Structure 1
Amino acid sequence: MLASFLIMLREGLEAALVTGIIATYLRQTGRSAWMPLVWVGIFLAVALSLFVGAALQWVSAEFPQKYQELFEACVGLVAVVILTSMVFWMRKAARSIKAELHDSIDAALSAPKGAAWALIGLVFFAVAREGLESIFFLLAIFQQSSGPGVPLAALAGVLVSVAAGFAIYAGGLRLNLRRFFRWTGVFILFVAAGILASALGNLHEAGLWNGLQTPAYDLSRVLPVSSVVGTILSGILGYQESPSVGEILLYVIFLGVSLFFFLKPPRPGKEASVYAPSPATERPNAGA
């Protein structure tokens, strides 16, 4: 549950920051009349994300068991690619995202025709990116967990991120966003490693991978997944009570390589800074 909460919090906060930057810039440049179009873009993006999630869930339910395992493996692999690219993209783009958004807004609103659609499209694609990322992550998590806890935790993460986004926009909340994205990025890489290892297990169940299937260890009597601690570790770190050698190797290699490059200090002059909009001025976030 913690995994779904934190990742939805991060995804929601990313979307809130982007829309907050757009809304603040429109207000500060005397273009507040365009704000209803920002909401149109947000609602369209949310609707698309929900539609895609429902469609994928419906399609997967019609598959026979073998193809169900293959579908789960594909969803898991897509989720790993999306989660990994997300944390590295934010690490790289945070220092310039505000300036790029300002340039995009100016270009959209200066178009001789279709300025309204250009602004809607800008907001739509910014929010839809986060929404579709969330859909694939949640599908991968739902395949590993049962019960209402995971969706409720995901919903709580979205609600908290929306509240935080409004507080940041209003100037009432100041977060060290660079530190927040850094440590949630580390956490997400652990989650992605667990999803990747599970995807390898799904490929084996689908009959497409049969190598390195010797059990690495068996902790089913000491720490079963059905236990409270086992459930928590499974949801957060992708813990398995009896993984194969291949799953362990994939988990360790992916985690080692991704953490090395993610935690690697940026080159001099490339230090990232994340900006949180405020009502009067656009000040860099404290501590960034």
Structure 2
Amino acid sequence: MPTVLRCLLIPLLLCLSLQVHASTTDAQTAWRLLDYIAVDYAEAVADGEVVDPAEFQEMVEFSASARERIQSLDASVEQPGLLEQADRLQAAIAAHESPELVARLSRGLASDLIAAYPVPLAPKDPPDMAVAAALYQQQCASCHGDTGGGDGPASVGLDPPAIDFTDRGRARERSVFALYQVIEQGLEGTSMVSYAHLPADERWALSFYIGQFAYPEPQAAAGEKLWNTDLALRAAIPDLAALTQVTPAALAQEVGEETAQAITAYLRRHPEAVEAPVAAEGQLAFARSRLAESVAAYAAGDHAKARDLALSAYLDGFEPVEPLLAARDRALMARIEAAMGELRSRIGSSASVEALQEQVQVVDALFAEAEHALEPEMGNNASAFVGAFTILLREGLEALLILIAMVAFLRKANRTEVMSYVHAGWVSALVAGGVTWFVATYVVSISGAGRELTEGFAALFAAVVLLFVGIWMHGKSQTGAWQRYINDKLSHALSRRSAWFLFVLSFVVVYREVFETVLFYIALWSQGNGMAIFAGGGLGAVVLAVIAVAMLRFSQRLPIGQFFSISSILIAVVAVVLAGKGIAALQEAGWVSVSTLSIPRVALLGIYPTLQSVLAQLATLAVLVAGFWFNRRAAASSAA
């Protein structure tokens, strides 16, 4: 880059950087002023009269200053609307409007301001509260006191006095984000200086620490129990950004004052809890709550609501703990699934309220068994190893059968030029599985419905494809059929459409199994025992590789007709299995109704005790039988 151009660009970039920084600072300062108006206006005006002239004058000045700073921000499509809101706020203050109205106008403007001119709303990671305690003693205790009461030795003679962080009335209106802004910027006209020289993570840690003083430790213990057992609370505060922005007063409007105080006391002491997975105890408590609501709705005559609540009990309550329970006690998991399916079946068949209550009691007793099985002490290296091994082996075998059949067929047909499409399909599925793991671990949780729908539709797609592939391969196993196929097709390469079809089939059958395996492994990993999980998964992969090599060698030794005959039967069996599994998954997602049957559940064969899944398997079997019969008849006609 020429020296002259560099000399021109550097000052320009520096100016742009300073302009962006100034705009961000103005937005943050305006937000802080608006937050103070929302909190302190009640001390200046009551019943339409000014009760503290000095405080009222400060509110007037703060509102004017906030408007000026909004005016100075970079032009945007939102800026005119923000200025209109600022004008309404100033008019409300001048007219001595109620504190409730002024607080609503002020907080509404502050919220829209941050949306239009974004600033960091939360720390990247939960703060270290041990560091926060040390920082408070070093930086804040001299004025605010060891316990936050504003009575530190350096507070004597301060005007205005140091803030009392234990003041519940004031604290309930302050968010952690508001405290962070004051720590970062300081307060003009007071002894509170800016602590912008501290790293951002330390400023956030101080904000959380200061925010806990008004909510004592006994409330935190109650809050921990609520947080671990009430999923509705987690929905109200889903992440760190929500935690830093919510005020105790706003939270109280959603969940009640006592609960809001307890949750605030706990989460401001333990912000890491927001990102921690829900304990099994909490998931099953939520499921129980939903079942109780379902019975109540059913008794009131609202069967649709009862069905939705029963489905929520499964998808939102039990489904998240299902992978871990399957690894520890698969038989118990199957019993719970069957019992909850029976419950939904009774709702669908308009059974009596007593029958519904009886089934809920059955489910509740099974939940008690599950809670015992899911206790941390029940998990050890041995159970983690066995779980990781069996999960990978069970899920992998189904996909392996189909892949081996595809690879063996291409070798028999001398179509190795499209083998790369098959390999690309299963490799892509493994990569997609890695992406699924990353997303489910670090981005968003995969809902129970999302999991069941993915498994269900993938299974049905594979079943339909394998249905026709099985019939086709059976046809080629008939005397002379394969030789005629070779004579007709050997001189022509498979079309690009056929090659891509092999890619899609390979991807779908493998990703379906990888998807379920990933969710199982995430559940196992959350319990620790990482080395045991690696060892179990590694052994499972080795066993699958040995099986794959053995199957390929065996297929090479088979005569072509016998190979197609055996392959067609195996693929037909897999198609029937997947048909049952696909319908069962859609039933668990609530997409297909449930009518239970008195037959055993054999998950390995895709047999589930519901009318719909059995009918799907019988229909698949009927098509296969008809196809095989047609193949034999066609072969007999050709021979004649």
Query: Scaled by the length of structure 2, what TM-score is found?
Result: 0.23
Q: Which has the larger radius of gyration?
A: 2
Query: Scaled by the length of structure 1, what TM-score is found?
Result: 0.46
Higher helix share: 2
